[in-house]
Structure 1
Amino acid sequence: MSEIRFQQRRLTALLAAVLLALLTTLTACGDDTTGSTKDAPAATQAAPTTRTVTDMSGNKVEVPSRPMRVVTNYPAVTQIIFLLGAIERQVGVTQTNLTTLPLFKKIYPPLAQKTAVFGTDTTTVNTEVLLAQKPDLVLLTAGNDTLRKTITDLGIPAVDVASFPNSDKLSEGVTFIADVLGGDAPARAKKFTEFYDGTISRAAEGTKGLTDAERPKIYYTADNPLSTDGSKTIAEVWARQGGGVAVTEGGSVSGTAKPVTLEAVVAWNPDYIFCRDHTTCEEILKDDRFAEVAAVRNHHVITNPRGVFVWSARSAESALQPLWVAKTLHPDKFADVDIEKEVKEFYTTFYNYKLTDAEVDGILAPTEP
């Protein structure tokens, strides 16, 4: 009988030990669950709605983490936004984006329906129209503090995008814009800068060793036959990258769209004249005062290529300019370069658009404004 009571007490003790162990385990699991909630992965927590960036003028600006309603007064930046895959987020443009660039509107028809917030001078803003677009970010050309203040006083964040005086600054600008836009734009920007670096390297390889005497002299026209981009502009940069030399290099003409005299052009006696606009080339060829210039005598007055944006004037399509210049000036050194193929690949890669042969011809020999 005592043996039976002993076994009963032993069984009771064993059951109590099991219950105590089970209770301890459950309590520990409860503690782990509480800990997991406290240490939840960042992905499950709310992302910040704004962040601070340093723009290309050095201003620190609080911007949306992913701006969805963007406006710019910089016509070339609209093309960059398109290249970066964010054109659907752009709600305001300049008048120039609507009145020129026919190929851009053909490839992306909604461009024609965008709202003109800025005038053709890029500094005149209609504040009522701007506010009506409910923008969460404005991308501005650097250097206009008055315009910047006008916009920020409306409670709209604005960041400066520096002008593109050289290829490095252009690549930096595309990268900066991509960083501000977010999403997959930075990856697209990286692909672009790699492409641009590649065209510069290929042009450099084919023109290495050229002396200045072997470099054709280039006169580039901006607004009219007697307007040019001089020193501290990208025109002088791509002239050298392509194996030539700008007639303004080392001179007193500095900046974009600067007036020059006919006497100066005749004295420079350029071997090539590259016109930003086809109408300018036509004016030069009809003007007997240019007849003795070497470029005119040798039929080297050429309209610069223009696609979604003009290649020569500070846009992302400037990435094609060095190789085109090199092929134009030194065809024997670049016999293996197929410019038509290069253009088609650029448009397929960055615009997801397959150009026809006729469209390529229109880009390389443009006649429309």
Structure 2
Amino acid sequence: MREKIRTIVAIVTGLWMVFMGSEGLSATPPPSPCVKTVVDRTGAQVCLPAAINRIVITCYGGASHEIALFGGSRKVVAQPSIDRFPLLAKIYENFVDVPDAGAFDNVNLETILALQPDVVFAGIVSPQGNQRIRTLGIPVVVLGIGRADIDNLLKEFTMVGGILGAEETAAALVAYWNDRLSLIRNRLASIPEEARKKVFYGTTGPPFRTEGGLWWGHHFIRAAGGINAAQEIKMRGGVTPEQLLLWNPDVIIITTNHSQNRQGSGMVGDIRNHPKYRNIAAVKNNAMFACPIGTFWWDRPSPEAILGILWLAKTLYPRQMEALSIKIETKRFFSRFYHYALSDAEFNAFFSTVGKVNP
């Protein structure tokens, strides 16, 4: 079915371009009237039409999840493949056959043009691709994705909810986040900064890459009450075994959102058995964990990322967070925001790469 839809899109694209060329007209459709303006993650003012009925997404970073949660799933006419998120496809079945118009800087302008979207949601890390789409006369709303922090992510929820006419849902989501973040702060308030767990967040490895103070991984750790071992590097970069030994983290967290790390528990085993890492505190104490995956990676920015922050807080400080049930919290979140009754088996599958569950 998916291949059939992709074929249809390709045929329509070709016919559109031939027609435009035969008429001697510009391939850029006339812009829809500008009715409202939003400020995106880059600070740009983006003018939008009154009705948003056709949406193209050209990034990962939880964009599909935001739009779906705010009631826009059936308006999405193109997005990157969601094959890695089977539960998202189960909840929003119409996503399965949506064609792919490319991602980030590798976008297919002809396909996007033929789909005639009212708006394109794109990522902040692809300025060239985003500008190419703007030349078509289509509004581009840039999202923060991996460069988000907590404050900007909550502002993004409000913005996207407003674009889709879901202001009440956006306000409820922001309030939920603020409530749960406050819960973590209150539960951990008695732990002084010098006693907080030092966490290393591995985005690939070994050999490792990680995220410093200007990327989401840092804010993920800080929101959970930890200290980012790599905060000094600011952006992203490689980490030698010698540097990791100098940092000597109490806990190592492995993301599963890179192809190298699909089986997080296997990566934990690789670290444990690597002779260069055996003297690191996290290795000696077996404090290494792969991040769970729900409808999206729990360690990456999305509406669901607050569940990952709660999971990490409980992983780092099990005694202080003992009263919190990750299973109950997750089921309530799915019911309230996805309108989906999550089963025990589906919840347990979130932790299939983790190697340890603390529900």
Scaled by the length of structure 2, what TM-score is found? Answer: 0.81
Contact 2:73 2:94 in 1 (8 A): no
| Partner SS state of residue 296, structure 1 | helix
The equivalent residue for 1:272 is: 251
1:167, distance to aligned residue in structure 2 (A): 1.1
Cα deviation 1:308-334 (Å, max 9, x = unaligned): 111211222111233222211111112
Match for 1:336 among 320, 323, 330? 323
Contact 2:202 2:255 in 1 (8 A): yes
The equivalent residue for 1:170 is: 153
1:272, distance to aligned residue in structure 2 (A): 0.9
| Partner SS state of residue 106, structure 2 | coil
Cα deviation 1:178-199 (Å, max 9, x = unaligned): 11222xx211111110110011
The equivalent residue for 2:117 is: 135
Contact 1:98 1:116 in 2 (8 A): no
Task: State the superposition RMSD in angstroms.
Answer: 2.0
The equivalent residue for 2:99 is: 115
Cα deviation 1:249-275 (Å, max 9, x = unaligned): 3x2x1224x221121112211111111
Match for 2:76 among 50, 73, 90? 90
Distance 1:325 1:98, change over 3 A: closer
2:225 paired with 1:243: yes
Whole-Å Cα distance in 2 between the matches of residues 177 and 366 of structure 1? 31
The equivalent residue for 1:206 is: 187
The equivalent residue for 1:217 is: 198
Contact 1:272 1:294 in 2 (8 A): yes
| Partner SS state of residue 113, structure 1 | coil
Give unmatched runs, 5+ long, in structure 1. Answer: 1-47
Amino acid at match of 1:208: A
Give unmatched runs, 5+ long, in structure 2. Answer: 1-32, 257-263
Contact 1:196 1:319 in 2 (8 A): yes
Distance 1:142 1:112, change over 3 A: same
| Partner SS state of residue 189, structure 1 | helix
| Partner SS state of residue 327, structure 2 | helix
Deviates more, 1:338-347 or 1:323-332: 323-332
1:365, distance to aligned residue in structure 2 (A): 4.2
Contact 1:165 1:314 in 2 (8 A): yes
The equivalent residue for 2:286 is: 299
Distance 1:283 1:105, change over 3 A: farther
Q: Bigger radius of gyration, 1 or 2? A: 1
Contact 2:158 2:167 in 1 (8 A): yes
1:49, distance to aligned residue in structure 2 (A): 7.0
The equivalent residue for 1:58 is: 43
Contact 1:66 1:180 in 2 (8 A): no
Scaled by the length of structure 1, what TM-score is found? Answer: 0.79
Amino acid at match of 1:199: R
Distance 1:338 1:266, change over 3 A: same
Amino acid at match of 1:347: F
